[in-house]
Structures are given as C-alpha cells and as structure tokens.
Amino acid sequence: MPHTLPCFSRLGLGKDADARAVRRAYARELKQIDQERDAAGFQHLREAYEMALAWAAYAAERIMPTPGARQPLLPDLERGDPQHLCDLAIAQFGAALPQLTQAHLAGDDASWRRELQRILDDEAMVNVCARTLFEEVMAHLLAAGWKPGHETLLPVAASLFDWTGDRGRLLRFGAAGALVDSAIAELALFNAQGQQELARRRRVLARLREPAQPGIDQLMQDMPWLDQMLERFPNMVALVVSLDTVDDWRAMAVRAPLQQARGHG
C-alpha cells in the first residue's frame, strides 16, 4: 500500500492528488466542521490543507520542471527511497505543528529550532536526496504564504538549511525558492535597523497576526509603518503576516475618517 502523508489522509485523498483536488477536499471537509465549536478541529484541518497544497505544488513542479530547472535527484538505493524518507520527515513535521502553532509557541524560536533539528538529525535525513526533498517542501510551504508560526519558521529554516550563507540552495527550487530567498535577504535588512525602530515595526507585524482587529487610533498609528515595510520589505512581509489581513487593514484605514467624523457628529 503506497505511503500516504497524514495531511492527505485528513482530507480523504491519496498522495497523488493535485492542488485542485486538495482545494475541493478542503471545501468538502470544511462544511462538516463548526468552526466556532471546534476551533482545534478547524485548525488541524487548515494545517492539513496548507501542507497538502504545498506538497501538491512541489510535486507538480517536479513532474513539469521549468526550463533550466535541476534534474530529478537520483535515489540513494543503499539507504532507501528518498521520496519515502522525505514523506516520513514531513509526517513528523506535520505531527509537531499543532503544538508548535499554539499561541505561546508560535513565536518561540527555540521550540521550532529544536523540532526541526530533531527531524534533520533523524537517520532518514542521512540520505542527501531525501534531505534535499524535505528542504524543498519547506521552501514551498513558506512560499505559499503566512500561517501561524511561519514568522518563526522562516529564520529558523534559513539558519538550519544554510539558506542565508548559500543562496544557491534556494534558487534550485524555482519560483518558490526565489521568493523565499528574497524574503530572507529582506529579513536581514529588516533586522539591521536600529533597536527602537525595529521594535516598533515588530509590534506592528505582531498586531497583524492577532485575530482581533486593532482600534481605529491604533490602526492609524500603525498604517504608516506598515506602508513603509510593504515598500521596503514586500517579500518578507508576505511570508510573515497574512496579506488578507493587510488588505483588511487598508480597507479599515479608508473607512476610518468617515467613522471618526460620525463619532464627532
């Protein structure tokens, strides 16, 4: 029986499902969940959907490589099938996500680093081909957009995979790798700011990741900082906060003067 990743199993799919099938399965499963009463179940479903979507995108790119893309890696027959070994690593990562994405751990660098290092230290990752496949899946997962904890996963993965020191590693992975590479370069510039300015911008990003919307006064204070970050660090921002929330903030800022005028009327 072919090995199926837990994320595909949760959606009732086989591992050969493409992105379209993943989206359909997610829509089907979503109808069966009461998001208000079963927040944990919804979060688990969402994580399975994101992981499956990233894996489907990765698989599609390997089936239809872009011009100039690297050739598929050859299996290391002495140490087992790289694809299967990579699947095992992804399963470990998926199993750790519910814990890592809890509010008190989502921003905990040490917890994410410890878990990812544990996976990389597993004997399955001795297989160089399997390790590279797993690295590519992580790049696709990050490039797919922000989800809770990705603001921490990005710098941790950059460190453990040496994406900062060897930019060519990411550029092997097509458009997804190029996006993550740009985000990491911007993150380095972001972190090089003065401490006061850096702390202020980090607070704005943290508020963007909160489920509650900011008050009007806070929003209007934060928008100039957000606009500056979107201009200077667009790729980084896209990976560490939800762009849907950015759009929501923009819409609120447009409505704010009218709401304030009504309040004083």
Q: Are residues 45 and 57 in the same domain?
A: yes
Phi first, then psi: give them for residue 165, nearest 5 degrees: -80, -25
8 Å CB contact between 94 and 49: no
The residue range of the domain holding 216 is: 195-265
- Give the pLDDT confidence score for residue 263 in this predicted structure: 56
- Give the pLDDT confidence score for residue 178 in this predicted structure: 95
Q: How distant, in Å, are the alpha carbons of 145, 181, 220, 229 from that of 255? A: 27, 36, 11, 22
- Give the pLDDT confidence score for residue 58 in this predicted structure: 67
Q: Are residues 227 and 240 in the same domain?
A: yes
Q: Are residues 49 and 138 in the same domain?
A: yes
Determine the residue type at 61: E
Q: Are residues 230 and 140 in the same domain?
A: no
Residue 30: count other Cβ atoms within 10 Å of its Cβ: 13
Any domain includes 57: yes
Query: With a cut of 70, which residues of the chain have pLDDT below it?
Result: 1-4, 58, 60-80, 258-265
Q: Are residues 263 and 152 in the same domain?
A: no
Q: Are residues 147 and 202 in the same domain?
A: no
Domain count, the chain: 2
What three-state secondary structure class fits 129?
A: helix
* CA-derived radius of gyration, the chain: 20
Any domain includes 110: yes
Q: Are residues 181 and 253 in the same domain?
A: no
Q: Are residues 248 and 164 in the same domain?
A: no
- Give the pLDDT confidence score for residue 21 in this predicted structure: 85
| pTM of the model as a whole | 0.72
Any domain includes 62: yes
Any domain includes 19: yes
Q: Are residues 188 and 233 in the same domain?
A: no
The CA-CA-CA angle for residues 135, 140, 142, to 5°, reads 95
Q: How distant, in Å, are the alpha carbons of 89, 100, 115, 202, 217 from that of 110? A: 19, 11, 9, 18, 34
3-state secondary structure 175-212: HHHHHHHHHHHHHHHHHCCCHHHHHHHHHHHHHHHCCC
Any domain includes 1: no
Any domain includes 48: yes
Q: Are residues 131 and 18 in the same domain?
A: yes
Any domain includes 238: yes
Any domain includes 251: yes
Last residue within a domain, chosen from 136, 165, 192: 192
- Give the pLDDT confidence score for residue 26 in this predicted structure: 81
- Give the pLDDT confidence score for residue 104 in this predicted structure: 83
Residue 213: count other Cβ atoms within 10 Å of its Cβ: 13
What three-state secondary structure class fits 44?
A: helix
Q: Are residues 21 and 95 in the same domain?
A: yes
Q: Are residues 33 and 138 in the same domain?
A: yes
d(CA 227, CA 219): 12
> CA dihedral in degrees (80, 47, 22, 71; nearest 10)?
-40
Determine the residue type at 240: V
Last residue within a domain, chosen from 134, 166, 192: 192
Last residue within a domain, chosen from 144, 164, 192: 192
